[in-house]
Amino acid sequence: MDKARPSIKDLHARLSQGETKSVDLTQQSLDHAKNSDSLGTLFLSLREGRAMAAAEAADQRAKQGKRLGPLDGIPIAIKDNIVMKDEVATCGSQFLRDYVSPYDSHVVGKLKEAGAVIIGKTNLDEFAMGSSNEHSAYGVVRNPWDRDRVPGGSSGASAVCVAAGIAPLSLGSETGGSVRQPASFCGVVGVKPTYGRVSRYGLVAFASSLDQIGPFSWWVEDAALLLQVIAGRDERDSTSAAQAVDDYPQTIQKPIDGLRVGLVRDFTATDLDAAAEKNFSTAVEAIRGLGAKTVEVSLPHLKYAVGCYYVINSAEASANLARFDGVRYTSRSKDHGNLKDLFVNSRTQGFGVEVKRRIMLGTYVLSAGYYDAYYGKACKIRHLIREDFIKAFAKCDVILTPTSPCEAFPLGAKLENPLQMYLSDVFTASINLAGLPAVSVPSGFSEQGLPFGLQIIAPDFAEGRALGVAHHYQQSTDWKDMRP
């Protein structure tokens, strides 16, 4: 894609008027993807033949005046834990290196119906467990603003794909911040929808009560458009909400004058980098300048969020990953003399260090004698955190926080200290615990030229409200004109 970063609306107009073709856009994306070695292992698979065939079909529909909508013919990349029929879905793991999905996920089906051209599957921390995209079995991903820095995780490659201009849209997944934190580190827009707003059917499960699929884009209006396409009830996912989907592209145009914006006093106790704190204060002033009114809100149980989150996500990971045993659809160890050896050796060889850490922690907190002390208590704290948000939203319409406590950190800086890595989720994990929607929008740069993100949190199913604040803020700032 060109450095001007045209919006999907602009690209759609060019396609409809015959100024360009989908095959041209798709070829540009594929060429850029194939020449992205400086960004590390960005793609785990490229769909060159199938993508070009889809682009040709989109051009044929355009010629016949039968376009399927604004995403018809638009290139998009998807994270490799979202399955696609007849395509490999590795989840960044050696365990699934040969797994080919026999079906489409819900979101892939929606993208195909909309005519979007899926160019490939992006890298990720193994089974989406990580905050730096350094835990993939297939290599690290590098930040386009500084190749020696992480892009964030686990959806770092999907964020880089948009930030580097390879594709205007991508999809990632969230469990505790894996869309919003990479969006912040890479200077793009990332959306975490309400739990149940987007079907998880075909998303390889990490922590089922926390996981959600979300969009990346350069422009907030494009994220709104993509969310519009993939949101909605899906009978194949029992947690999918039946609530009607708002017209997000229309909703974001509403002015935010008079909107009540909550500022959380409890965040002052967190380990927030001085530069990130200064950036956040500047962003708040800009939001006030748009006519919003700030009020102070309290989330008293927020200090327990990271610990609570890692107990719950590890417990659910332990249960979900039990299916990967070397017997069914995963790689199998050749070193076994009996069934027990097959299980143990396959899992020992197939899983990476971080995945093993989560499985062991999760198995421990679910074990007899420790269940009530850890998992049971974490579930009670989770309920209190959600209640805190409900009370806060009685006083405000949205809540603002930094997306991350710091700028993108150097590659390798936190690999030997898992606790420091986990603290990267200090501003994001509580949102997944509460099931709320949130948006990260670029909010400026550090002295080192690295992006920061502003997080906008909204009540259940008020994605349009959060996107609207993000849209007006983005349009009022110069950050959107910066390029890696």
> DSSP for 345-401?
HHHHHHS-HHHHHHHHHHHHHTSTTTTIIIIIHHHHHHHHHHHHHHHHTTT-SEEEE
Rounded Cα–Cα distance for residues 355 and 322 (Å): 12
Averaged pLDDT, groups of 10, the chain, 484 residues long: 79 94 98 97 98 98 93 98 97 95 98 98 98 97 98 98 98 98 98 98 98 98 98 98 96 97 80 90 97 97 95 98 89 87 93 97 96 97 98 98 97 93 93 98 97 98 98 94 90
**Architecture field, domain 8-255:** Alpha-Beta Complex (3.90)
For residue 270, what pLDDT is reported? 61
> Residue 294 phi/psi, 5° resolution?
-95, 140
Residue 97 has phi, psi (to 5 degrees) of -60, -25
Q: What is the 3-state secondary structure (H, E, C) of 431-473?
A: HHHHCCCEEEEEEEECCCCCEEEEEEECCCCCHHHHHHHHHHH
Structure tokens, 217: 């884009």
Hey, where are the domains in the chain? 8-255
pLDDT at residue 330 in the model: 81
Q: Tell which residue, 247, 189, 255, has the closest CA to residue 220.
A: 189
What pTM, to 2 d.p., does this model score?
0.97
Detail the DSSP E strand segments found in 72-155: 75-79, 117-122
Q: Which of 212, 19, 225, 210 is nearest to 105 (CA)?
A: 212
**Contact 87/323 with Cβ under 8 angstroms?**
no
**Per-residue model confidence (pLDDT) at position 337:** 83
For the record, the structure tokens of 465 come out as 């409200």
Element (H, E) at 413: none
Catalytic (active-site) positions: 79, 154, 178
DSSP codes joined into one string, 228-295:
HHHBS--TT-TT---SPPP-HHHHTTS--TT-EEEEEGGGGGS---HHHHHHHHHHHHHHHHTT-EEE
Q: Contact, 181 vs 441, CB < 8 A?
A: no
